[in-house]
Amino acid sequence: MNSSTPLLDNWQTILSQTIDSPEALIRHLQLPEELIEPAREASKGFPLRIPAPYLQRIRKGDINDPLLRQVLPLGDELRQVPGFVTDPLAEMAANHRDGLIHKYKGRVLLVITGACAINCRYCFRRHFPYEDNRLGPEQWQQVLNYIQNDDSIKEVIFSGGDPLVSSDKRLQKLIADLEQIPHLQRLRIHSRLPVVIPQRVTDTLTTTLRDTRLQSVVVLHINHPNEIDDSVTAAVQQLKKAGITVLNQAVLLKQVNDSVEVLKQLSETLFASGILPYYLFTFDPVAGAAHFDFADSDAQQLMQQLHMELPGYLVPKLAREVPGRGSKTVLPIQFD
């Protein structure tokens, strides 16, 4: 878990060997061959990507494995469903500079990269125009100027894609530039890398986040307790020992985590690993992923039951992001 780990454990080597072939995935997991053609068709528009550490947690021969369901392209993705659109959160309206989205007061989101280590099939940015939002030197200076000129901005969010696909050296440069803006106070990083490739939590990354004057927060994205193994816990503990706040946000997904039992186990496993449950989002209606949709009313019933099972600090806030609103919308929980 450090910068001097052997080559086979180097996160960049693991990233370069990510599985991107539906045939290879389906045969490796001993799944029915008839899944290959639909997976090949569905992955044309949104490629398959699964790194080896995550693949190892998927049960072979189980088409209903909750981790597999998150990453396997299905023929369902090819259906056009009314109401499911390419920009479900209306981010283009808030894309004020290349690589910058400013929707909420006090914080801006920066699209550090369009690359991910894993392509989650439910991703609300699966159609995002990353090619038009590259942060070259000129675009980065425009982003810095935008933030510098608005002293209401206290927090910068690194997002993507996955910002931790970027090298430690690049992240150090970006953070050093942001530190020069006096009114910035916090840096938040949203990432799946410490979950899908735990080796990404290097000594250099940890030191960078520890030593910046900005208060560092890492928000992970874990939907199911089976995503957390000993290597993920070790990565989180390395961040925690450096004084970095680690939170989790999950998405409620049909046939993945849509039960009280799974959500309860998720919260307990997160907390045991040093991660605080933060948000549980209802599903964003993105085109190609309608088969994951789960009704808000059913989600509210689940949360009512979850409140009866767990102490309050283990219950994430159930929320939806509604385009045009000034904050996330927390959905009310009705108790009998």
95 and 53 share one domain? no
What is the radius of gyration, based on Cα positions, of the chain? 19
Domain count, the chain: 2
Last residue of a domain, one of 22, 49, 78: 78
Distance CA 174, CA 165 (A): 14
Quote the strand ranges of 168-244, DSSP E. Answer: 186-191, 215-220
Q: What is the four-CA torsion angle of 176, 180, 181, 184, rounded to 10 degrees?
A: 50
The pLDDT of residue 111 is above 60: yes
The pLDDT of residue 269 is above 60: yes
Pairing relationship of beta strands 317-320 and 329-330 according to DSSP bridges: antiparallel
Per-residue model confidence (pLDDT) at position 7: 42
37 and 141 share one domain? no
Distance CA 199, CA 103 (A): 33
293 and 216 share one domain? yes
Residue 120 tokens, joined: 């989650």
70 and 96 share one domain? no
Average pLDDT, the chain: 95
| Residue 62 located in a structural domain | yes
Per-residue model confidence (pLDDT) at position 3: 41
The pLDDT of residue 6 is above 50: no
Say how many C-beta atoms besides its own lie within 10 A of residue 333's C-beta.
17
- 45-61: per-residue pLDDT in tens? 999 999 999 999 999 99
- 10-25: per-residue pLDDT in tens? 999 999 999 999 999 9
153 and 65 share one domain? no
| Residue 84 located in a structural domain | no
177 and 60 share one domain? no
The pLDDT of residue 5 is above 50: no
- 70-85: per-residue pLDDT in tens? 999 999 999 999 999 9
271 and 227 share one domain? yes
The pLDDT of residue 2 is above 80: no
| Residue 154 located in a structural domain | yes
169 and 239 share one domain? yes
Q: Give the CATH number for residue 310.
A: 3.20.20.70
Per-residue model confidence (pLDDT) at position 335: 74
Per-residue model confidence (pLDDT) at position 216: 98
Per-residue model confidence (pLDDT) at position 207: 97
39 and 123 share one domain? no
Per-residue model confidence (pLDDT) at position 336: 64
| Residue 214 located in a structural domain | yes
- 293-311: per-residue pLDDT in tens? 999 999 999 999 999 999 9
Tell me what percent of the residues of the chain surpass a pLDDT of 90. Answer: 96
Last residue of a domain, one of 78, 106, 127: 78
Q: What is the four-CA torsion angle of 266, 127, 216, 137, rounded to 10 degrees?
A: 160
Pairing relationship of beta strands 276-281 and 317-320 according to DSSP bridges: parallel
The pLDDT of residue 268 is above 70: yes
